[in-house]
Amino acid sequence: MNEISADSFDINEYLRLELFPHFLCPGCGHGMAMRAMLWAVAELGIDKDNLAIVSGIGCSGRMGAYVDANTFHVTHGRPLAFATGLKLARPDLTVIVITGDGDSLAIGGNHLIHACRRNLDITCLMLNNEIYGMTGGQVSPTTTLTRFTTTTPYGNYEPAFDACRLAEAAGASFVGREATLQVPTLKNLIREGIEHKGFSFLEVISDCTEIYGRKNALGNSPEMVLSQKSKMRPESYGGLMSNKVDQPFRPNPFQTGVLARNERQEYGELCRRHIAAKQQAE
């Protein structure tokens, strides 16, 4: 593995430039998340022919289309199901799932739970912007209490999922969380997740400035991005920008980094060994 500085990393080598300009809104955190992911891929020296990106429906689902690799844009809530079949059929591939909070925790919640339980060697990036951004701004399973959405015009009063605690409880052997502002730190976390032998679940806190930020008076894009750091790590900025938004994007305390790691049998190896033993016995 080679360390690549931010200045040396050329993201254009990993993009389908003919598809640009991209469709993301100005200030969307998903682009920063994609940069961190591809930076990690570059440092690990993963060949594009050996990289598979599976994404579902939503703003996060469009990320895979821009990556110059083996990419699959699948139905709503099903990227982990497709990725499971792909990884079992082609264990030589590095398989990364890009999904959103609605895609993975609402319609895809069952697939997420069982992907964690199985512990197949897949890295799942859940880009959490607390909203169904592409389909009208509806409330999602991670929308913070009291926030306004198109389906909660008087504020949200459903408790939000802690996706990382859910993933850990379901059996994911590597669980982590980081914000898009921390691109080098996020890159390192994604790299650790890819290197881990087993199912890695990484929650990426990503801003939706147009659909979520505007409706909740969270400030413009720079204010929302900086509030991630000033609210999650107050010592870093001394509370800078804290007077620019009415509430933190996420409540304190909000842990980031590696939250859980354990070594257990990887599902693909277990399946292949079991099948080989049965075939030998026949």
Distance in angstroms (rounded) separating the CA atoms of residues 144 and 130: 7
Arithmetic mean of pLDDT, 143-166 = 93
Q: What is the pLDDT of residues 193-210, one digit of tens each?
A: 999 999 999 999 999 999
188 in any annotated domain: yes
- Bridge partners, residue 123, by sequence: 96, 200
In a domain, 94, yes or no: yes
In a domain, 31, yes or no: yes
Looking at the domain assignment, is residue 223 inside a domain? yes
Range of the domain at 85: 11-281
205 belongs to a structural domain: yes
As a whole number, mean pLDDT of residues 183-202 equals 96
Do the Cβ atoms of 228 and 249 come closer than 8 Å? Answer: yes
The whole-angstrom separation of Cα 134 and Cα 187 is: 25
pLDDT classification of 181: cutoffs 50, 70, 90? confident
User: Does the pLDDT at position 107 exceed 50?
Assistant: yes
Report if residue 6 sits inside a domain. Answer: no
Residue 235 has pLDDT above 60, yes or no: no
**Residue 241 forms part of a structural domain:** yes
Single-letter residue type at 207: D
Report if residue 72 sits inside a domain: yes
**For residue 189, what pLDDT band results from cuts at 50, 70 and 90?**
very high
Write down the pLDDT at residue 254: 66
Q: Which of 53-67, 240-254, 257-271 has the lowest mean pLDDT?
A: 240-254
Which pLDDT belongs to residue 239? 37
Count how many domains the chain has.
1
Q: What is the CATH number of the domain that holds 89?
A: 3.40.50.970
